[in-house]
Amino acid sequence: MTAGIDTPDRRGRTGLDRTGLDLTGNPRVKVRDVTLLSCHWYVERTTTFDLQLADGTWSTQERETHDRGNGATILLYDTERGTVLLTRQFRYPVYVNGHPDGMLVETPGGLLDEEDEQSEHPERAVRREVIEETGHTVGEVQRVFDVYMSPGSVTERVTFYAASYGPATRTHAGGGLDEEGEVIETVELPFRQALAMIRTGEIADAKTIMLLQWAALEGPFSAAAAG
């Protein structure tokens, strides 16, 4: 009996070795076998599949995938004051990969929980994360785009949002959840300063860069919005 296959893992999941076996959307790909490597919190798999090449022949290939679920993130902006509200927190993976202190400036967000995934409702997740991390309860949100952040090995799809904030939307303390070991600082910046921090490397988080650039090109701080 193996956890995650025929007995529940720590998150109550079984059948994790069958993911992908029923895919039929691409006739040039035939999934042959899925091996579950681990399912501690996230799920690691090795998948063997046949891929039809340009000349019509078939190539058997093997790929490892990291499944951490899907996520959502949001840019909080105040056009009247020309500011954005970001967060700063410690990220061990970047710390061990060359970042000087591991403290990243980011847009708030996080992973969808099981209920969010089942209902395909990332907006609910991002609203929850905004309250937990920044203490703000936002009103109407704009869905900007959905992005696969690292498609070579990570299955995660992140839904990007934007919403206005201000003194009136502050309803909670923020700072993250103690039970999850979160220590999150809110960082309010002039929008133009945030853009400049991309060039200096002070903002090095992909999702944050994407949303700031969207805001400048076609979002709330774009020339069209100003006009």
pLDDT digit string, tens, across residues 148-165? 999 999 999 999 999 999
Q: Is 133 annotated as a binding residue?
A: yes
pTM of this prediction?
0.92
Which residues pair with residue 7 across a beta bridge?
3
Calculate what percentage of the chain has a pLDDT beyond 70: 95
CA atoms of 101 and 80, how far apart (whole Å): 33
Question: Domains, the chain, ranges and CATH?
Answer: 1-67 (no CATH), 71-222 (3.90.79.10)
State residue 180's pLDDT score: 67
CA atoms of 225 and 227, how far apart (whole Å): 5
Which residues pair with residue 185 across a beta bridge?
88
Is the pLDDT score of 115 beyond 90?
Answer: no
Query: β-pairing, 109-111 with 43-52?
Result: unpaired
Tokens of 162: 């934007």
State residue 114's pLDDT score: 74
Is the pLDDT score of 119 beyond 70?
Answer: no
- Tens of pLDDT, residue by residue over 91-101, are 999 999 999 99
Is the pLDDT score of 211 beyond 90?
Answer: yes
Please spell the DSSP secondary structure of 125-146, one letter per residue. Answer: HHHHHHHHHH-B---S-EEEEE
Q: Is 182 annotated as a binding residue?
A: yes
Name the DSSP letter for residue 183: -
What's the number of CA atoms in the CB half-sphere (13 Å) around residue 190?
3
Is the pLDDT score of 221 beyond 80?
Answer: yes
Mean pLDDT computed over every residue of the chain: 93
Name the DSSP letter for residue 161: E
